[in-house]
Amino acid sequence: MTKAKDVQKELEILGDPQVAGFSQRFFKTGAGQYGEGDVFRGIRVPVLRRVAKAHRQLSRSETLKLLHSPYHEDRVVALLILIHHYNDANDAVRTQVYDSYLKHARLVNNWDLVDCSAPQIVGAHLWEKDRAVLYQLARSSNLWERRIAIIATFHFIKRGEVTDTLKLALILLSDTEDLIHKAVGWMLREAGKRDLERTESFLREHYQRMPRTMLRYAIERFPERKRLRYLKGRV
């Protein structure tokens, strides 16, 4: 039976020091930066997806061991395997995967890890369930849990529902982290594609106190004249 250490040996072979060096810089791993202390093997995402697919039968206990790895790519593969577990399962097992994800949410500790997994596991699981947990996560002291909260709503947006996105955006409006500003702005932009009227109503009410990055992301696809009115405070 395949173990987490077997997957790690495979990933070790696939690593590229040059790619790893670039990733260390790109994901801001220096002292005081959001990815401080993260380490990389240097493997591109398409390769990681192939590895995850090949090991989709890895047991959940071994997958969670992989999620505890100090290597960023190992955690990516672990999350992608969890998505396979979720998609391939019945309702009872899906609940177990979802619970495991939230229990280990602090290991989902970079923006790409959140973005590749929160909609597919958290958003998918809460689609027809109570979503109170998202509001708890949005008020967490942990940056990544707050990002999970808003990014999970991408699953809802794709199905035409923007209510929770707008409510969570309001909670996160005064967040001090740039990665939250970008995430909220991105989700507002996506919400506008599905329900422009409600999203614009939200923007008109709140744009003047939005962090600039959040606003720029939210209005990125607006016609130039409308975008400039927002930026100049003339809406």
Tens of pLDDT along 166-203? 999 999 999 999 999 999 999 999 999 999 999 999 99
Q: How many CB atoms lie within 10 A of CB 41?
A: 21
> What's the rounded mean pLDDT across residues 109-138?
98
For residues 95, 101, 105, 109, the Cα torsion angle rounded to the nearest 10 degrees is -150
- The domains of the chain, with CATH numbers, are 1-109 (1.25.10.90), 117-235 (1.25.10.90)
Is 144 in a helix, a strand, or coil? helix
pLDDT at 220: 96
What is the pLDDT confidence band of residue 87, given thresholds at 50, 70 and 90? very high
pTM here?
0.96
pLDDT at 1 over 90: no
Please name which of 181, 127, 172 lies closest in space to residue 154, comparing C-alpha atoms: 127
| DSSP H or E segment with residue 179 | helix 178-194
